[in-house]
């Protein structure tokens, strides 16, 4: 196993990213790459790794789905009392990571997570299929549970009228307001392109980082 892993390597040859051709605004660069990835992804093209840190600075990561780019930030939905929600309450600094192997690309984002408004969460919750709404209501995300109990709870909720499936107060969206972007494009012989954006006043500055 170890030998196979040590010998596993890919060559990256598909594209280049330079300071000149990277967009002036990182959100424009993100949207360009995201649109390209959407066309080739097999599934879950909007999946991203969200990393949070506990107040004691212990990091943890999990996948969530990007559900919008709005007001300059990246939105996802979850349970506010889940492990990640509790961590964000105490330490709003988070990181997002998108890995798009079909395009030999990675995008890293760091920023601050803030809750979106209750109205915005409500609007998205109500747009979800009944099954997803039931799941969100029934699941005390990140708690230790008994699967049978969870299924009983789901069965009971399934008897209700759809209009009764209301958003629980502890379920809603976060918006990650970015303060760092890095766009990584794989290149030959590990000489990858890495373009970092940092905010400077109202604008962003672009820099090339060593691979």
Provide the annotated active-site residues: 190
Helix or strand or coil: residue 16? Answer: coil
**Nearest C-alpha neighbor of 136 from the set 85, 62, 96, 70:** 85
Asked if 123 interacts with ligand FMN (CB under 6 A), we say: no
Sole residue written with tokens 């424009």: 28
Under 8 Å between Cβ of 52 and 88: yes
Which span sits near ligand FMN by CB under 6 A: 24-32, 81-89, 114-122, 152-160? 81-89
Asked if 82 interacts with ligand FMN (CB under 6 A), we say: yes
- Quick note: the x/- pattern for ligand FMN over 48-67, rule CB under 6 A, is ------------x-xxxx--
- Quick note: the x/- pattern for ligand FMN over 5-44, rule CB under 6 A, is ---------------------------------------x
- Identity of the residue, 13 or 90, whose beta carbon is nearer to ligand FMN in the bound complex: 90
Provide the 10 A C-beta neighbour count for residue 159: 7
Under 8 Å between Cβ of 173 and 115: yes
Which span sits near ligand FMN by CB under 6 A: 76-84, 152-160, 161-169, 196-204? 76-84
- Identity of the residue, 139 or 194, whose beta carbon is nearer to ligand FMN in the bound complex: 139
How far is residue 174's CA from residue 120's CA, in Å, rounded to a whole number?
A: 10
How far is residue 107's CA from residue 176's CA, in Å, rounded to a whole number?
A: 14
Binding site for ligand FMN (CB under 6 A): 44, 47, 60, 62-65, 76-78, 82-84, 141-142
């Amino acid at each position: 196993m170890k030998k196979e892993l040590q010998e596993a390597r890919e060559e990256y040859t598909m594209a280049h990213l330079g300071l000149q051709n990277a967009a002036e605004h990182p959100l424009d660069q993100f949207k360009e790459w995201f649109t390209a990835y959407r066309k080739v992804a097999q599934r879950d093209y909007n999946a991203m790794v969200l990393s949070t840190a506990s107040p004691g600075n212990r990091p943890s990561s999990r996948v969530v789905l990007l559900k919008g780019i709005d007001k300059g930030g990246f939105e996802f939905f979850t349970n506010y009392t889940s492990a990640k929600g509790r961590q964000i309450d105490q330490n709003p600094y988070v990181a997002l990571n998108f890995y798009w192997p079909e395009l030999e690309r990675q995008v890293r984002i760091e920023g601050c997570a803030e809750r979106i408004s209750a109205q915005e969460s409500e609007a998205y919750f109500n747009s979800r299929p009944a099954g997803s709404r039931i799941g969100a209501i029934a699941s005390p995300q990140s708690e230790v549970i008994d699967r049978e109990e969870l299924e009983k709870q789901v069965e009971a909720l399934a008897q209700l009228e759809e209009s009764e499936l209301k958003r629980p107060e502890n379920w809603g969206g976060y918006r990650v307001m970015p303060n760092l972007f890095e766009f990584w494009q794989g290149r030959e012989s590990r000489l990858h392109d890495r373009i970092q954006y940092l905010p400077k006043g109202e604008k962003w500055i672009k820099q090339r980082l060593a691979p």
